[in-house]
Structure formats: structure tokens, C-alpha cells
Amino acid sequence: MSWYADEGLVGIRRDLHRHAEAGWKEFRTTALVAEELERLGYDVALGPDAVVPEKRLGLPSDDVLAAAEDRAREAGAPEAYLERMDGITGAVATRSFGDGPVVGVRVDMDALERDESRADDHRPAAEGFASVNPGEMHACGHDAHTAIGIGIAREFADADGTDEGFDGTLKLFFQPSEEGGRGGLPMSETDHLDDVDLLVALHVGLDEETGTVVTAYEHPLSNAKLDVEFSGAPAHAGGAPNEGRNALQAASTAITNLYGIPRHGDGVTRVNVGMVESSNAQNVISERATLRVEVRGGTADLNEYMLSHARRIVDGAASMHDVDVGTSLYGKTTTFEADDEAATLVAEAAAGLDAVTEVRPRKEFGGSEDASYLIRRVQESGGIATYVGIGASNVAGHHTAEFDIDEESMRIGVDTVVEALRSF
Amino acid sequence: MSWYADEGLVGIRRDLHRHAEAGWKEFRTTALVAEELERLGYDVALGPDAVVPEKRLGLPSDDVLAAAEDRAREAGAPEAYLERMDGITGAVATRSFGDGPVVGVRVDMDALERDESRADDHRPAAEGFASVNPGEMHACGHDAHTAIGIGIAREFADADGTDEGFDGTLKLFFQPSEEGGRGGLPMSETDHLDDVDLLVALHVGLDEETGTVVTAYEHPLSNAKLDVEFSGAPAHAGGAPNEGRNALQAASTAITNLYGIPRHGDGVTRVNVGMVESSNAQNVISERATLRVEVRGGTADLNEYMLSHARRIVDGAASMHDVDVGTSLYGKTTTFEADDEAATLVAEAAAGLDAVTEVRPRKEFGGSEDASYLIRRVQESGGIATYVGIGASNVAGHHTAEFDIDEESMRIGVDTVVEALRSF
Amino acid sequence: MSWYADEGLVGIRRDLHRHAEAGWKEFRTTALVAEELERLGYDVALGPDAVVPEKRLGLPSDDVLAAAEDRAREAGAPEAYLERMDGITGAVATRSFGDGPVVGVRVDMDALERDESRADDHRPAAEGFASVNPGEMHACGHDAHTAIGIGIAREFADADGTDEGFDGTLKLFFQPSEEGGRGGLPMSETDHLDDVDLLVALHVGLDEETGTVVTAYEHPLSNAKLDVEFSGAPAHAGGAPNEGRNALQAASTAITNLYGIPRHGDGVTRVNVGMVESSNAQNVISERATLRVEVRGGTADLNEYMLSHARRIVDGAASMHDVDVGTSLYGKTTTFEADDEAATLVAEAAAGLDAVTEVRPRKEFGGSEDASYLIRRVQESGGIATYVGIGASNVAGHHTAEFDIDEESMRIGVDTVVEALRSF
Amino acid sequence: MSWYADEGLVGIRRDLHRHAEAGWKEFRTTALVAEELERLGYDVALGPDAVVPEKRLGLPSDDVLAAAEDRAREAGAPEAYLERMDGITGAVATRSFGDGPVVGVRVDMDALERDESRADDHRPAAEGFASVNPGEMHACGHDAHTAIGIGIAREFADADGTDEGFDGTLKLFFQPSEEGGRGGLPMSETDHLDDVDLLVALHVGLDEETGTVVTAYEHPLSNAKLDVEFSGAPAHAGGAPNEGRNALQAASTAITNLYGIPRHGDGVTRVNVGMVESSNAQNVISERATLRVEVRGGTADLNEYMLSHARRIVDGAASMHDVDVGTSLYGKTTTFEADDEAATLVAEAAAGLDAVTEVRPRKEFGGSEDASYLIRRVQESGGIATYVGIGASNVAGHHTAEFDIDEESMRIGVDTVVEALRSF
């Protein structure tokens, strides 16, 4: 018997919202999704079979992961699934209904690392499904995405294992760790995408009202997040400042010069240092300093240009001050163009739904998205893809403490995608 | 009845060690010292009568202070004394024995902000008097100083309120918050020092063995600690970096330029930035960045030179990046020369003690000390002063987690100072 | 009798090439143009009547200007015209042929500040018309532009002062000091442009072959060039570095931070520091440091954004190091869109010429152009304008020492513009 | 016959003053000194025999040296001596008078690179011996030093080749290129100093009045001057800033960080960047940038500490911005202590002279001096040395355009040194 067997889209979404799990910590989410999908007759690849483990980016420490798994266990994640996941979140569910084309849907499952509002006028708080996990909140709608994924799976799979009007194979990609761009790359490097002929990714909200469907978001900025740690040697700043190797001098020089990476003649570039930390007493030469850097580019090449400059700058700053430096990629996304044919399928599907009042064509994405890696993998293998926007009249902006999703949008999301896939 | 009435030097010191209280949190220490000193017949000025409240530097938040006071209360600090302190630590105890000169002793009472070792070979841990307050530890010997202060008070004051061989007035300055140089200035600005003819400050250890007395440490570097906070405006680093006012760019520019304050032809200068913090997501322009800066100078003028340059640099960096900047002085010390006459008194006193095996003359202090403010105040009023080193064969260096004091040194400290004062 | 009366386009262009005069030094050019235009029956406004004197940017020193005027005098510039110019170059020639519309043509006259090749295969050197003025060379084709301007004037003005097929007023703007964007602004701020209904600016070459006409270059980057001088105080770097106020520390900090001006979400921005100079002995703290800064923006607003940030950064750097800073605008340009109607006129005119083999539509300008100020002034007053490219199969790139113009292009330039103006 | 045969000290000094030759350009000076010394019976080692050619620092270009040699030839330098010098300046003159000790005198010969005042109240101008070489001036008194060297040679050498009261060997070191510390090192690395038992170096003026003799200046700061050239790649700052490799960004980062080399706990350090140059149009990414850096240390070790940090910083800055960097040592000095015995000899010699009114003991040197290398070489070989100050009531400070030497001081210089050497 599955936890979600008797729950509708709203019930599932609210349960996920209440148990918000941030990137790489989606143990309960993955386990319950897998349990329900297997109940529906899908084969489910889990954890190390759903993402390439060593390609995971921005991984929390082992302690943090173990605590998250324990938390999931206590909150009802079935042990059998946790065991199969082997400490790694993410799932790919597959079911074949005939010899037709292979179609895929990608949804993301992770919450944001932020606290949720407890105000009375915040519905999740008022109705008791606000996040019970401090510092983790579904403030971007991925809870709805996951519910939509389950809803799509249900539409295709009736009790006797056939699906009217669809004779192909359906693959559902439940991607972990989208925030920061950490889970898309390792999922894209499995071979699950190689035979996908049509991939649809989706997002609710994005400032569109309920009833609007955007057939093809595209051109997100490519993005890379680089964690940097400078390590020097402490010394007494009064007695022997010369004996120190000052990690903070290196960090400051790096920051100033990172912002000065030359603009590029070919298009948009961005650079930012969001976080810096160096904690010593005032009279101690700084032994350690950490930075969190982000670069972006209008194309993947521009992003690589920025990333390679950023790496050279932190290396040069370290060598200048005789300190060591280590870097690790926290996250990375690329960019994509949606395919006309895929967008048209969505447009026609949406136009046929009563609940849809407006169908919008291609739109620039603005931010960054690691569905980009999955989409490009499909396109490189000869398939087509699009990234669909499902309007939702939300009460507050994405990523805020008051974010909540118009739950009507979920039904529209399920129906639009199901129709598009069936008509392929 | 006083808590310490039946305790000897070792007992008092161990009790203080166990209840280590860091700067401006010495509520229990001050209260128990005051209780014992009043039992001995001294008049005790407390809190706002012992330091000028608005001159206190590097003050913790009100919440932190209130919690420290509660902790003291629970650990036995008498309520009557806490009330008189009115939230402010520090005490000056005075007793007159005749019309002779006014002599003073300054000891400091605060612990360091660090954890104490729990290792079996660390005597305070093994014998049960390691600090019960996490993050606070007597790792510099101020527990011994406070005990020595009480010991000196006892030597002068016998039961009937007279003191053989001394017909003047004794003042004992139990100074709070020496670490960081935060309590010396506000205590020096009371009028308790105006009539002091001879002031002796003292420190145990300082890499000298038990049995050694240094008659006059002098020339500590002047020191100022400046807290700096840059405040700008956040913005999305991908969408509209131009809308941010980047506190971190200001901070980085400030740091790089602080280290470049011109060296001074007149003597030694120092500058360091120990702590930096700016915490934003990688994709958010930094709204806030804080620094903890320290400058030093071989003279008070050189220190002022460094401090005024540091202030100008952080202001310029803020204006360059259109952010606001606030600064506050976390701590400040000055420098001094010991008086020959005072040093000679100590030398003769120490030479007469069996436990003293070596008497050393003047020595450079090396670090910084805010007893400097009290000493200069006495000297400016026509008195003389010295800063005495009481050797102690300690097992580990000052400020380490394994620091422990050779308790034999306390007796030598009491006897040396008492003899010097009596012979004045 | 006019110097150029009997010269054709080639003869005029070669004479101008030989006597190349850089920005604000076009005394001989202006005087000879004015003399010829008055011979042809035009009214000529000169110097202070052709540009607003106090709006001139990037002006050389008085000494340099006086020397340039003397040089012009010795090379045949008629004294009467030099007197009327009153030390200021530039001319606006006007002639009315009836009550029809007012049409204008803008050409620029200044040479580049660079040496010309003396190689045998460089035609101007081989045929004796290479620049006689060291460090000044017509390496961008403005000599041809000026000759074309005279050619157009001749086409309209026959001996009896009427012009078949044109019954309006013709204004010819001979603009000084285009290089660096220094002369466009002050000419645009006269009232000569207020009644212009159609303005055509033109450029030869720009990597197009002879026979090609580009009907409308547009969207040049807005540009501002800022000269910066930091002034501090010298001091002996060994004896008393503290007594210096280090102009070079300010300059270095400014440079590093200029490159770090935040990228802008609305479009392209650029910043560069081309020149830095600070000349002191190694043992002297730098008293003075000069920078030449350039910023650009995809729009005039983006350019202002960059310029205001640049100003704030140099101010902040100065204040940080306690030095003075002075800035002056060396040059400035804005951007424009060409008008469809004007481009169409040019397209039709060009299409009718045998010598024209290809007519190209709108093209992005790439660089910067201060004709932008004149074009915007016309557009703001209700007129229309375009910036025409006259292809020229040149042997070497613009701004190189070997640049030479395919002189055939001049005839095409004259004919295209004359036809476009007549058909308006 | 020698050019200087019939000239006294004043005549020689004024002739040298008139033909001021800056570092490594002392062709005329060296040749005329050598001619006169050989006339007096000394053996003279010249050029490559007086300095180790490949150890010369801060060498001008070959063109500059060739022009200086031509200039010397035209101003009377005998061809035979120029030939022996083989393009290298400097001379060591030796004469033996018996089997006694070897005594040495070091004087420097080079002028400063600066213009001389032409004011009527500047005696050299008024009396016709101001420098005829623009940009070169004896503004530090080395002309007097050279004359004193000749004067000493004359005192020892009478017509018949014997010297009353002295039976040892006299070596006179006429050192080139003292300014900047460029000639001391290469002269010290010859073997001429190995057998010197007593070396006296001397300087006139140094803010002491005529009649004062300082027996031992010592402890000059060690000094190193580093020329740095960053080489990147140009690019159009508007079109493709990314294609540049910005030498100026590297240089600015280097400068800012050079000033931030950590102060040293062991003593005085200094750093300065005197000269920076990068010359490009405002719209070109800087291809090349040059710096002239100077570091100092209170000891030779502290100087090496600064120099090695400076090298690492310029390397790191280059690597950070992907540009190349080359460095060359422009000059270098070390430090020394004067020997008591040598100082005493000078003190006794000076005390015996009527013209000497005050004899001062040891004094800190303040600046830097490359006689330090010669002195240390002698001391390392077992000899003794001192650096003598010969007071001179000069009208203006060293290194100014109005500097002139009180010529009375030369006689005192000769007599003091001769007496000290004879009494050894």
C-alpha cells in the first residue's frame, strides 16, 4: 500500500510542502514518489541509478545527508526505498505501453533553503501544511511539480496497465537539487535520456496567471557556482605579521578582480560573490577565507569564459599571497533553445483545454535552469524538447517566505502535458 | 557571610576558573569580589561607579548581557550586588588606614572567548574546575589576578581594621573586559585614580618561570580595534546587478587598502583585518558586510595615525561603491613607560622574598594592555606606576585551550606587591 | 580667388591629406573650405558661430592651438578666415535656393594623432601627399569626407546661383574634432540644426568595397572619455612615507574598481583605462597620477550609468588616500536610430547610380560617432536623418599607418547624397 | 700631459660639475681621473677590470651609453682611455709605497638625473660651471668626492714616488653609478678589495656644517629597486574587450598589493612604486605597463623579505590577468656597521686638524648607500672600514636644483682621510 495511494494532487502537494526537503536531501520525497509510481506499475530507477553519483554538484556534508535521511525515515519514508536509494536522491520512472515513441517529463523535487512564513494570512501556516523543517521551504513550487509528475503518471496508467491513445513509452524524471543547478547535470549523464524522442519540462507560476500556458521558455543564462577556499597560515598580527600567510588578503584581491573580469563582445556575462567568510580574532592573520562565486553567460561559451577567468583569478590571488586555494563547483547550468515542433504540440494541447484562457509563444527564461542539461541531452540524441510554463495566480513572488501556489494550476499542468504527449 | 570567606587563593582562583566570564559578562566575579571585599572592610564602588558607562567599548548586545547576568545569578552571585551593579561589571575597593599616600593595585577579571580543553592531562578538567561556560575560558590567568587582588586586600586588612606598617589608603581596581582593550579606558575615566600616588598592575606568566619577577614591563603597542559595517542594497546578480549597492565590493576594496596604509617613519605600525562576513546567496548582490579591524602603533600617536587612516579608507571605500558604512570602536589601548622609582620598589620587595629566585629589570611588553590607560592617568596626575610580571611555570601558552597557571605564583604575586606598597 | 577653385575632388583630398590636422587644430582645413564655399555663394558661419565654444571637449592647450594656427598660416590658410575663426575650428555653410525644405550634410574634417607610413608601397608617400605634420595623419578618411562636402556644395551651386531640381536650403556642416567624440556636441548645440528637415551624415570605407552603399548605420555605442588627475603630496619613501599623499595608490585603487562597475541588466556596458602615468623616482611617494578612462553604453542612459559610476569611483579612491582629484570630459558621443524615410531616400538614390553595385540596408555601427549629437538634434526638432556608408576598397584598415582611401568612392558619395537630397 | 695636471681641487671639481655624467655614463670623468692618476704614478684598472661587467645593475640602453661615450669624447676624454674602458665606467688606482698595510678610499663619481638651476644666485650658473648636459647635474656632491679622491692620491704621491710616513699600498676606488645603488655591487665583486686592511668611504654635506667631521655613518637601509614590465595583448575596448590581456589591470592589482606586503616583526620595512606608465588610446585594452618599485629593509634580510614578496606579488598579478611579466633589478644596496677602530682613526685624524671644529661619533645613515657592498667585502675579508661624513655648509639640500658644495670642505676631506690612513 502506498502513502499517496488515496491522495489527490492537492493532498500530495500539501504533504510535500509540509515536509520540504532541500537539495540532495529529498529522501522522503523520492521514496514516496517511487512507492506510488511502482504502485502504478512503473519501473523506478532510484538514487545511483537515476543520477551519476560522482557527477553530483554542491553536495552537503555526509553528516548533513545522514541527518536528512534519518529525518525522512522518521517522517514516514519507507525503509525499503531508502535502502535502494543508498543515500542518493532522485528517481526515473518508466513504463511502456507499446512500440510507439518514448516521451519524457521532467519535474524537480527540491525545496529552497529558507524559512517559511508563519503569518496567519499565509495559507500553508493557517491550514497546517507549512514546512516542519526549519530553514527549508517549498518557495518555488517544486512541490507542485512533483505532484504534477505523479498526476501525469496516473493519467497514463489505468488499472489494467494500458493507456488509451498512447502506445509508446513514458519516462518520468523526478530530478533532485535543481536550486543552485546541482542535480540536472548528474541526471543528464545517465543513459535514461538517450532514447527519449520528446521531453517536456515544466514550471508553475513565473509571474503568469492561472489559465495561461507558455509553450516554450528558452535561453536561460548559463550559470556556474564556484566555491572557493583560501588556506594560509595564522600569525600574531602585532608580533609577527610576516609569519602569516594571509588568506583574507588573497580573498579580497580575488573579489575585487573577479568583478573586473572583462566584459565580452559576444554577449551577456555576469559575476557575483555572494558569500565571504573569514573568522579570526582581530589580532590574528587570517588563516582561512571562503567565497561563494557565481558567474553567468548568455551562452554556454560565455559561461565557460567567465568560469575560466574566475578560476585563474582565484589562483593568481592565492599565489600572490602565498596561500593555497581549493575550488569546487557548487552548481552549473547550461542554456537551450526549445524546438518548434515540441512547442506546437504544447500550444495545440493547451488550446484545447477549457481551463486555459491564454496560450503564449516563446519567451526568454531570464534566470537559470538545470533542466537545460536534460533538454540538450535529448536534443543531442535527436529528440525534441520544450520547457512549458503553467501560469499560477500566486499570492507572493517565487523564493519569498510567503510563496504559495494556486493549486488550480496543477490540473492544467497535468492535462496540458498529457495531451501534448498523447498527440505526439 | 561571604562566598569566598573561607577560601584561600587556590580555592578562589579555581572557583573563578570554573565560572569563567568573558568581557563585560563578569557579573558573578564582580559580585563575589565585592562581597568579599566589603566583608574585609573595604568600600566598594560597583558597575556605573567603577567605570564610566558610556565609555565602555566593545559591548555585547543587551540580550547577551542579560543572559550573562542570569547565568551569574544562577551560579550564586548575590542578588544585592547584582542590583547595585545595574548591569555593569567592574569594582573599585577602597580602604583608608591613615593619612599616608594612596596606593593602588589593578587586576583584570575577564576570561577569553574560547573553549577549554577537556583532556585528561589538563588539570582543570581532571580536577573538576574547567569552565562550565562553553566558549569562555580563563586562558590568560585573569582568574589568578583576581585572586591575587583579594589576597592583597586580605594582607592589608586584619580583623580590627588597621594595617601594620601601612598608614595610607589602598585602592584595588578590579577591571572588567581587558581582552580586546575594552575596560581600561572607561575605568580610567572615573576619578578613582586622581589621587593615586603609586599604582601597580600585574600579570602572571608571560613566559617567565615561577620565582622570577619582572619589575617593569613597558612600551606595549598602542592598539585600536574598529568594527566596520557596510550596508548597501541587494539585487539579483543575474537580472539587475546594476540595482545593487554592493557592500562586499566596498569591503574588499577597504581590506586591500587597509593593508596598504603607509608605513610610518617614526616607528612601528600594524594593521590587520581579522574577521569578515557577508552572507548572501550566490545570486544576490551583497547587502551587508562586516569587518573587524585592528591597528597598532609603537606610540599613541602612531596608533592614532593608523586609526585615522583606517577610518578614512573605510569611508572612501563606502563612498566609492555608494554604500553606507558605520564604525564603532571595539577596543583601544595606549602605551606607557614604567617609572624608575616604582620599578625599584618592586625590585627591592621581590629581592627580599625567599620564593623569588630572579629579579629582572625593564622589559618590552610586546602585546597590548589597557592597564595603560590607568597607568597614564596616574602618571598624568603626578603619581608613579609600574606593570609587574609574576613568573609562573605554566604548562601551556597563554590563550591556548590547555592553559593553566602554576598556582604557586599567586603567593609570590601577593607578597611582592604588598611589600612594594608597604615600603613606599 | 580660392585655393581650391581649380581643384577636383582628388586634388582637394590630397591637399588635405598632406596637411593633416588633428582635432581642434583644423585651422587650414576650415579656412580653405570656407574660402571655397564663399566663392560658391554660400554663407559661412565660422569658429564661434559654428560650435558653442564653451562646450568644446578635449581641447588641447592654448600653446598647442596657437602653434597649430601658426602652422596653418604658414601652409597657406588665408589670414582673413583665420581672423574670423578666432582660434576655433569648424564651419557651417548655408545657401537657399527657394522656399523648399532645409536639407543638411555633415562631414568631419579632423585627422588622427598618429604617424603616417613612409613606405614606398604607401601611395601617399610614393606620390608625395603623405602628411607633412608628424604625429597627425588622415587615417580614417575624413579628408575624403571634407572633399565630398565641397563636391556636394558644387553640385548644388552653379554659376548663376540656382539649382535645377532643388528649391530648398542646403546646409553643410564641416565638423571639427570627431576623433574622441569632441566636436559633435558643441556643433549640435548651435541653432543651425533646428530647422533642418533632413540630415545626411556619411563615412567612407568601414570595410565595405567600392560600389556598395549602406543606407543607414545606426546604434553606435554611446561613449564618454574621462580624463582624471590625482594630486597628492610627495614624500621620501624611505624616511617618511607617512608624509606623502599617494596619488598612485589612489589611481591603482580607482583602476581596479573601475573595471568592477556592475554590469547592467538593460544592455551592453564597457569600461577601459587606456593610459596611466605617474612619474617619480622610485624613492618618492607619487605626487601625481593621470588616467584616461573610457566608458560606453548600448544606450545613452547606460553610458550615463557608467559615467556616473566612474566619477564616483575616482572620487572615492581619492578620498580614500587623501588626495585631490580633478576630472574633465575628453569626449562624448551618444547613439541614434536612423529614420526609415531617410534611409529609403538614400537607397533609391544609390540604386539609380551606375557606379553603385550593391545597396545594403540598416547595419549596426559598432564603434562610436559624435554625428549622433547632430542627428538627435535634428530628430528632436522633428526632422529625419540617416548615416550613410560609402564603400571604398581601401588597402589597409582604418586608423593604421598604411590607410589610404579608394578615391573613386568620393564621386559615389557626392552623387548618392546629392540625389537623395534632391529627391526629398 | 694630463688634463687635470695643473688644476687644484676647486678647478677639478668645477670641471667635473660642468660635465656632469649620470650613472654608467661617467666616461669623461673616468678617463680624466685615470689619466691624472697614471700621471701620478698609480696603476689604474679601468672599466671591465674595475667592475664585474655582468653584475652591473640598472644599465641604460646601448644607444644611451654610446651617445654618452661620444659626448665624453667631444668634451675632451682622451681616446686611449676610452678604448681601455671598453664602454664601461669606473676605475681602481693602486700604488705601493712599501710592505705595510693596504689602505683604500672609495669615492663615487656619478651625477643625478635632473636639471640644474640657471638662476643668477646659483653660483655654478653665475660663474659658468653649471652642467652643460641637460637632465644631468652633480646635485649630491660626487664631483667633490672625485676631486677629493684625486687630492688624496696627490698627497701620497710626491715626484720621486715615495711617501713620507706611509709604507703600505694605497687603493683608490672611483665607483660609478652610486645613485640608485647600481655600481657598488659590481665593483665589490672584483678582487681589488680582498687585501684591503682599512677602507674609508666618505660623503660631503649630509646637513653637517663645514668644520664638522662625522667619524662613522652606519646602518643605511638595505634597498632594492625592481623594474617590472607587464606584457599582455591589446584589443578594442568596445568591440572585444575579452580578447585583450590587460597589462594595466595586472599592474594596478600589483601596486595595490605591493603596498600591502605584511609589515615585519623584526624591524623596518618600506615599499614604494615610484613610476608607472601605460600608454594606449582610451579605447584600447592596455598591452604593456611598466612599474619601478623600491623596497627597503632595516637589515639585508628584511630587504630580501620585501624583495621576495614583491616578486611574488607581481608574478601573481600577471598570472591573475593572463599577462607576462618580466623583472630586472635596477639597483641594490645592503647595510653595514662601521668598525670602532676605523672610526677612532678618523676621530683622531680630524681632531688634529685646525679646520675641524667638531668631531661627531657614530650616526645613523638614514638613506641607502651602495658603498655598503664594498665595506662588507672588506669586513668579510678581515679588514675594517668606516663611512666618514665631511661637513659642508651648503646653500641648498642634496638632490635639489640649487645644490652647490662649500668647496672648503674638500680640503678637510683630503686632510682627514690622509691623516687617518697614514696613522693606521
Give tens-digit pLDDT for C235-282: 989 889 999 999 999 999 999 999 999 999 999 999 999 999 999 889
Q: Is the distance from CB of A23 to CB of A177 less than 8 angstroms?
A: yes
Q: What is the pLDDT of residues B34-67, one digit of tens each?
A: 999 999 999 999 999 999 999 999 999 999 999 9
Phi, psi of D183 (to 5 degrees): -105, -15
What pLDDT shows up at residue B239?
A: 86
C270 in contact with A, Cβ within 8 Å: yes
Mean pLDDT, to the nearest integer, of D193-211?
96
C323, with CB counted inside 10 A (0-12, 13-18, 19+), is buried
Which residues sit opposite A43 in a β-bridge? A94
Residue of chain B whose alpha carbon sits nearest to that of C285? B262
**Chain C residues within 8 A of B265 when measuring between CB atoms:** 239-243
Mean pLDDT of C159-178: 82
For C270, name the nearest residue in chain D, comparing CA atoms only.
Answer: D238
Residues D278-316 pLDDT 10s: 998 899 999 999 999 999 999 999 999 999 999 999 999
E-strand stretches of D97-137: 102-108
Counting as contact any 3 or more CB pairs under 8 A, the partners of D are: A, B, C
pLDDT over 90 at A36, yes or no: yes
N-term to C-term CA, chain D: 33
Q: How far is A256 from chain C (nearest CA, A)?
A: 7
Q: Is the Cβ of D255 closer than 8 Å to some Cβ of chain C? A: yes
Residue in D253, D256, D278 closest to C275 by CB:
D278
Per-residue pLDDT, C49: 97
Nearest residue on chain C to B269, judged by CA atoms? Answer: C242
Cβ <8 Å between A225 and B282: yes
pLDDT at D358 over 80: yes
> What pLDDT does A239 receive?
86
Q: Sheet containing D324-333: which strands, arranged edge to edge? A: C324-333, C222-231, C288-297, C269-278, D269-278, D288-297, D222-231, D324-333
Q: Percentage of chain C surpassing pLDDT 70? A: 98
Chain segment C41-63, per-residue pLDDT in tens: 999 999 999 999 999 999 999 99
Q: What is the average pLDDT across B202-212?
A: 95
Residue whose C-alpha is closest to residue D9's, from D151, D218, D179: D151
**Mean pLDDT for the stretch of residues D215-239:** 94
Q: Do D241 and A264 touch (CB under 8 A)?
A: yes
Shortest Cα–Cα distance, B234 to chain C (Å): 13
| Predicted confidence (pLDDT) per residue in C231-244, tens digit | 999 998 988 999 99
pLDDT at D14 exceeding the cut of 90: yes
Q: Least CA distance to A279: which residue of chain B?
A: B275
CA distance between the termini of chain B? 33
CB contacts of D260 in chain B (<8 Å) are 256-257, 259-260
Query: What is the C-alpha separation between C17 and D241, in angstroms, rounded?
Result: 32
pLDDT at D162 over 70: no
pLDDT at A157: 80
Nearest to A241 among B272, B283, B366 (CB): B272
For all residues of chain D together, what is the average pLDDT? Answer: 95
Chain C interface, best mutation among A252, A256, A258, A263, by max C CB count within 10 A: A263
- Is the pLDDT at B161 greater than 80? The verdict is no
- Contact list in D for residue A260 (CB cut-off 8 A) is 249
Contact B282 A292 (CB under 8 A): yes
C264/B242 touch (CB, cutoff 8 Å), yes or no: yes
Share of chain A above pLDDT 70, in %: 98
Torsion over CA: B399, B405, B406, B409 (sign): positive
pLDDT tens track for B113-127:
999 999 999 999 999
Residue of C nearest to D321 (CA): C256
pLDDT value at A163 more than 80: no
Nearest CA in chain A to D236: A265
Chain B / chain C CB contacts < 8 angstroms: 76
Is A265 in Cβ contact with D242 (below 8 Å)? yes
- Chains in touch with A (≥3 Cβ pairs < 8 A): B, C, D
Question: In angstroms, rounded to a whole number, what is the distance separating the alpha carbons of residues A424 and B298?
Answer: 81
D273 close to C (CB below 8 A): yes
Residue A159 has pLDDT above 70, yes or no: no
- A243 vs chain D: nearest CA distance in angstroms? 8
Q: What average pLDDT score do residues B178-192 get?
A: 96
Does A308 contact chain B (CB < 8 Å)?
no
Return the residue in D221, D253, D259, D266 with the most chain B beta carbons within 10 A, the one to mutate for interface testing. Answer: D259
pLDDT at residue B157, rounded to an integer = 79
Taking contacts as CB-CB distances below 8 angstroms, the residues of chain A near B368 are: 238
Task: Give mean pLDDT, residues A96-114.
Answer: 95
| C267 part of contact set with chain B, CB < 8 Å | no
Residue type, D29: T
CA C420 to chain centre: 23
Q: What is the pLDDT of residue D366?
A: 77
Distance from CA of D155 to the nearest CA of C (A): 38
C288-297/A212-214 β-pairing:
unpaired
C269 CB within 8 Å of a chain A CB: yes
Q: Is D423 at the interface with chain B, CB within 8 A?
A: no
Q: What percent of chain C has pLDDT over 90?
A: 90
Model pLDDT, residue B185: 97
Q: Do C257 and B264 touch (CB under 8 A)?
A: no
Across residues A345-366, what is the average pLDDT? 94
Listed residue (C333, C314, C312) closest to C224, CA to CA = C333
Q: State the average pLDDT over residues D241-261.
A: 97
User: Which CA distances in Å does B106 have to B146, B150, B411, B417?
Assistant: 9, 11, 16, 11
Top residue of B266, B320, B324 to mutate, by most chain C CBs within 10 Å, is: B320
Contact with chain B for residue C310, Cβ under 8 A: no
pLDDT band at D52 (very low <50, low <70, confident <90, very high): very high
Complete domains list, chain B, with CATH: 9-220+336-422 (3.40.630.10), 222-333 (3.30.70.360)
Nearest by CB to B319, from C253, C256, C319: name it: C319
- CB contact under 8 Å between A256 and B253, yes or no, is yes
Cβ neighbours of residue A338 closer than 8 Å, sequence gap 6 or more: A215, A216, A217, A218, A362, A375, A385, A386, A387
* pLDDT computed for residue D50 by the predictor: 97
Mean pLDDT in residue range B158-171: 73
Going by pLDDT thresholds of 50, 70 and 90, the confidence category of residue A250 is very high
User: With an 8 Å Cβ cutoff, is C303 touching chain D?
Assistant: no
Chain D neighbors of A257, CB-CB under 8 A: 249, 253, 320-321
Q: Taking CB atoms and an 8 Å cutoff, what residues of chain A touch D322?
A: 312
Alpha-carbon gap, residue A157 to A170, rounded angstroms = 10
* Better-scored residue on pLDDT, D217 or C3: D217
CA–CA dist B277, B233 (Å, integer): 16
Average pLDDT over residues D70-84: 96
A39 pLDDT more than 60: yes
Q: How far is A160 from chain B (nearest CA, A)?
A: 48
Contact check, Cβ <8 Å, B278/A278: no
pLDDT for C159: 43
Inter-chain CB proximity B286 and A277 less than 8 Å: no
3-state helix, strand, coil in chain B (%, to 5): 35, 25, 40
Q: What pTM, to 2 d.p., does this model score?
A: 0.90
Q: Do C320 and B316 touch (CB under 8 A)?
A: yes
Q: Compute the average pLDDT of residues A267-295.
A: 95
For residue D257, list chain A residues with Cβ-Cβ distance below 8 A. Answer: 249, 253, 320-321
Identify the closest residue of chain B to C311 by CA–CA distance. Answer: B320
Do A253 and D256 count as a contact with CB atoms less than 8 A apart? yes
Angle between helices A142-156 and A27-39 (to 10 degrees): 10
The three-state secondary structure class of B73 is helix
C270–chain A nearest CA distance, Å: 7
Residue of B nearest to D262 (CA): B259
C-alpha cell at A399: 523564493
Chain D closest-CA separation from residue C273 CA (Å): 6
Local confidence band at A161 (pLDDT 50, 70, 90 cut-offs): low
Per the prediction, chain C carries an average pLDDT of 95
The ipTM (two decimal places) reads: 0.86
